[in-house]
Structure 1
Amino acid sequence: MLRQGLPKLVATDLDGTVVRSDATVSGFTHSVFERVRAAGVPIVGATGRGPRLEELSRIDLPHADLLVLGGGGRVLDLREPGLPRVLRDARLPGTTLAALVDALEQRLGPVKLLVEALDTPNSPIWGDDVTDWPYPDDVRVQPRAESLGHDIIKAFVRVGGDDDSDTLLRTARALVPAETAAFTHSGLGWVEITPPNVDKASGLAVVAEELGVDPADVLVFGDMPNDIPMFEWAGRRVAVANAHPEVIALADETTLSNDRDGVAVYLDGLLRRSR
C-alpha cells in the first residue's frame, strides 16, 4: 500500500468532497490541483454525475486529465484538445431495469423511479412525478414505459418518503443479483442503479490501464458509499471529515471536510513533504 511520497495518480469525488456545500470550489483547491499537475501527477474526477453534467464537472475540476462519470459507466480522456475520447460507455437495457424495479415493488411496494438516459449537455432526467428530488428543474415527468424504452446510463429509486438509503441499498443488493445491476447511493436519499460491474473502481481501472498505473500507486478521495469501490481498489484512501461512516472506516486517513477544503489541504501537505 502506498504510504509516502507522491502518488502516480490522484482521483477524487466531486460533490461533498472537493465541491463545497454552496456548490463552489475554492480558489485554494484549484491552485493546489494545478500544483499537483505541475508535479507530473495526473488528476481524475470520479463522480456519480452523469455525462450530461460533463461541462459542470469540467468547470469544478478543470485540472482533470480524465473523468469517470455516471458512477463509472462513462470514462472520458480529456488530455487532447477538442472532443474527449470515450474510453467506456456502459448502459443498462430498459427492459432489465423494468424487471428489477418490478421485483423491488413486489417486495417493498410502490417505488419512485428516475432515469438518466441522455448524455447531451444538461439534458433532463426522466421519470415519475416526485417532490423530493433535490434538483427538480432537471426532471421531466413522463410515463414509466416511455422512460424504460431506452438504454439507461443510471437510474434512481426511492420507496415512498423513506430516506433510509442505507437500508434500501442493502435490500436491493439482497434482492437483485450483482450480474443484473449494481446498486449504490451518494447521499441524495435515493438508491442509484448502474449496469452490472459498473462502479467508480471499474471506471478507474479503465483509467489505470490507459495510463499504465498500478492501483497500488493511486490516491483517492471520497465521502459517500458510491466511493467505497474505489476505496477498496486504490492504494491510498483519504476520506473527508463529512464522509459516511462506512467510507471513513475504509480510509487510511481522514482530512478536513469539503467545506474546509480538506482535499486541497491534504494534497498541499503532500506536495510540501515531497520537496
Structure 2
Amino acid sequence: MTRPGLPKLIATDLDGTLVRSDDTVSAYTHAVLDRVRAAGIRVVGATGRGPRLTELTRNDIRDADFLVLAQGGWVIDQQESRLLRSARLPGRDLARALQALEAEVGPLSVMVEALDHDDAPLWGDYDPTWRYPVTVEPRTRDECLTSDVIKAFARSFERDVDDLLAAARRVVPPHVASVTQAGLNYVEICPPEVDKGTGLAVVAQAVGVDPADVLVFGDMPNDLPMFAWAGWSRVAVANAHPELLAVADEVTLTNDEDGVAVYLDKLLSK
C-alpha cells in the first residue's frame, strides 16, 4: 500500500528526462527510484526506444516494474517476464503514410525497426548524423515495406522536425498510423492508437491503477499522450520541448540536474 498523498504509479521518459546528456543515469537517481519502489509505488520506464534496446533500457531504469517501449507499442511486465503488448504496423499502411507525407514535404530518408531481438539492426537509409550507436542494414524502400514493422523513422533534410511533424499530423490519417517525434530529428511512424498513453493504460489495467493515481515525467512531443492520460501530476523537465511545457502541471530541474529524482526525493520527504 502506498502512503496517502502519494501516487500509486510513476512513469518516466528516459532520454532527455531521466537520462542525462552524457547518456548516463546518476547514482542519486537510481537510489531515489529504489526509495520510490520501497514506498510501494510502481515504477514504469516509458520510452520511444524499441525492443532492440531493452537491455539498455533495463540498465537505465533498474527499478522499473514495467517497460513501455516503442512509443507504447511494446509493454513488458518485468516482474512476470511477460509481454503485455506487441503492436506492429503493416508494411502497406506504412507505405500509405510515407506516400502521403512525401506528397506534402518531398523526399524522405527512412529507416524501419522490424526486428525485436536485442541489438537488432534498423533497415533502410543510413544517416551518419544519428547520435546513438546503431547498425543499419541497407535496404530499399520496397524491401522495408514487405513486412510488418514496429515503427519507422522518417527524416527530411529540408525541413525542421517540428515542421515535419506538423505536416504528418495533417496528412497521415490516425486510423492508418500514429505520428510523433522524440528529439532525434525524425518523425516516428507507429501503429494506429499506439502512444505512451495507450501503453500506460495497458500497465494500469494490469495492476488496477486509475490514471488519477499516476504521476508522469517527460520532455518531448512523444510524451504528450501520457501527459493527457495521467491525472496525479504531469511534470516536465526544464529542458523540455515547448509543446510539453505548455501542458505540464509542474516543471522540475533539467535532466542534467537530475530533475526527476529531485522532484521524487522531495515528494517522498513530505
TM-score range, shorter chain: over 0.9
The aligned residue for residue 29 of structure 2 is 29
Amino acid at match of 1:230: M
Q: Deviations over 1:41-64 (max 9, x none)?
A: 000000000011010000000100
Contact between 1:5 and 1:270, CA under 8 Å: does it hold in 2? Answer: no
Q: Distance in 1 between matches of 2:106 and 2:254?
A: 37
**Structure 1: 4+ residue segments shifted above 3 A:** none
Q: SS of the residue aligned with 1:250?
A: coil
**How much has 1:136 moved relative to structure 2?**
5.7
Contact between 2:219 and 2:240, CA under 8 Å: does it hold in 1? Answer: yes
TM-score (norm 2): 0.96
- Aligned pairs for 1:108-119 (under 5 A) are 108-119=105-116
Q: SS of the residue aligned with 2:117?
A: coil
Determine whether 1:229 maps to 2:237: no
Aligned pair partner of 2:151 in 143, 149, 154: 154
Q: Distance in 1 between matches of 2:267 and 2:226?
A: 20
**How much has 1:79 moved relative to structure 2?**
1.0
The aligned residue for residue 184 of structure 1 is 180
Determine whether 1:125 maps to 2:111: no
Determine whether 1:105 maps to 2:97: no
Q: Distance in 1 between matches of 2:264 and 2:207?
A: 21
Q: Which residues of structure 2 form unaligned runs of 5+?
A: none
Q: SS of the residue aligned with 1:179?
A: coil
Aligned residues: 266
Q: Percent identity?
A: 62
Aligned pair partner of 2:139 in 137, 142, 153: 142
- Aligned pairs for 1:205-220 (under 5 A) are 205-220=201-216
TM-score (norm 1): 0.94
Contact between 2:101 and 2:171, CA under 8 Å: does it hold in 1? Answer: yes
Q: Distance in 1 between matches of 2:9 and 2:51?
A: 22
Amino acid at match of 1:142: R
What's the C-alpha RMSD, in Å, of the aligned pairs?
A: 1.2
Q: Distance in 1 between matches of 2:105 and 2:242?
A: 26
The aligned residue for residue 40 of structure 1 is 40
Q: Distance in 1 between matches of 2:42 and 2:16?
A: 21
Amino acid at match of 1:154: K
Q: Distance in 2 between matches of 1:31 and 1:129?
A: 38
Determine whether 1:265 maps to 2:262: yes
Q: Distance in 1 between matches of 2:222 and 2:97?
A: 20
Contact between 1:75 and 1:86, CA under 8 Å: does it hold in 2? Answer: yes
Residues 136 and 60 of structure 1: CA distance in aligned 2, closer, same or farther (over 3 Å): closer
Determine whether 1:14 maps to 2:14: yes
The aligned residue for residue 199 of structure 2 is 203
Residues 137 and 161 of structure 1: CA distance in aligned 2, closer, same or farther (over 3 Å): farther
Q: Distance in 2 between matches of 1:179 and 1:123?
A: 28
**How much has 1:258 moved relative to structure 2?**
0.4
Q: Deviations over 1:174-207 (max 9, x none)?
A: 1111111000001111101100000000000000
Contact between 1:215 and 1:234, CA under 8 Å: does it hold in 2? Answer: yes
Q: SS of the residue aligned with 2:116?
A: coil
